[in-house]
């Protein structure tokens, strides 16, 4: 689904809201990112299909999706460099993804993590963030 065009005005990070690791990470990203860089949207949201009809719920349960202001959708490891670019002190890390082999390794790790994220959450005793 990477590179698919969808209309939108703001960068939206779509994540698995039922996953404790994903929820904690989205809160951490929102805290560390430039002000108003992201809108966080759990893929379980009722508005997902209305706002982003071509982002299937099943797809966003497998990988994070980033909808850029120009409508381009990046998913999984392809979204990571763009997320880093919007995160103040972490921006310089995005350049690492341009090094030979890093995107390849990132895809492998992300694929493993995506399948094991609930196990990882249990292993490290990661709990859902408290809602405000």
* Residue 132 counted as domain residue: no
> Given this model, what pLDDT does residue 34 score?
86
pTM, 2 dp: 0.87
CA–CA separation, 10 and 59 (whole Å): 20
Residue 114 burial class via C-beta count within 10 angstroms: exposed 0-12, middle 13-18, buried 19 and up: middle
CA–CA separation, 14 and 38 (whole Å): 10
What whole-number percentage of the chain has pLDDT above 70?
92
Q: What is the CATH number of the domain that holds 62?
A: 3.40.30
HEC profile of the chain = CCCEECCCCCCEEEECCCCHHHHHHHHHHHHHCCCCCCEEEECCCCCHHHHCCCCCHHHHCCCCEEECCCCEEEEHHHCHHHHHHCCHHHHHHHHHHHCCCHHHHHHHHHHHHHHHHHHHHHHCCCCCCCCC
> Given this model, what pLDDT does residue 131 score?
61
* Residue 92 counted as domain residue: yes
How does pLDDT run across 77-131, given as a tens digit for each residue?
999 999 999 998 899 999 999 999 999 999 999 999 999 999 999 998 888 877 6
* Residue 97 counted as domain residue: yes
* Residue 17 counted as domain residue: yes
How does pLDDT run across 14-66, given as a tens digit for each residue?
999 999 999 999 999 999 998 888 999 999 999 999 999 989 999 999 999 99
Q: For the chain, how many structural domains are there in total?
A: 1
* Residue 21 counted as domain residue: yes
How does pLDDT run across 54-64, given as a tens digit for each residue?
899 999 999 99
**Order of strands across the sheet that contains 72-75:** 4-5, 72-75, 65-67, 12-15, 39-42
**Averaged pLDDT for residues 1-12:** 58
* Residue 129 counted as domain residue: no
- Terminal-to-terminal C-alpha distance of the chain: 32
* Residue 131 counted as domain residue: no
User: Where in the sequence is the domain holding 71, given as residue range(s)?
Assistant: 4-123
The Cβ of residue 47 has, within 10 Å, a number of other Cβ atoms equal to: 8
* Residue 63 counted as domain residue: yes
- Residue whose entry in the numeric block shows the structure tokens 């809201």: 17
């Amino acid at each position: 689904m990477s590179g698919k065009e969808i209309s939108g005005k703001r960068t939206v990070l779509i994540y698995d809201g039922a996953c404790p690791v994903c929820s904690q990470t989205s809160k951490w990203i929102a805290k560390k990112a430039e002000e108003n860089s992201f809108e966080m949207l759990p893929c379980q949201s009722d508005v997902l299909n209305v706002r982003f009809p071509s982002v299937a719920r099943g797809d966003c349960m497998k990988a994070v999706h980033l909808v850029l202001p120009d409508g381009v959708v990046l998913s999984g490891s392809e979204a990571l460099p763009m997320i880093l670019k919007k995160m103040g002190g972490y921006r310089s890390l995005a350049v690492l993804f341009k090094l030979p082999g890093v995107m390849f390794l990132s895809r492998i790790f992300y694929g493993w993590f995506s399948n094991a994220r609930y196990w990882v959450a249990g292993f490290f005793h990661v709990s859902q963030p408290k809602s405000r």
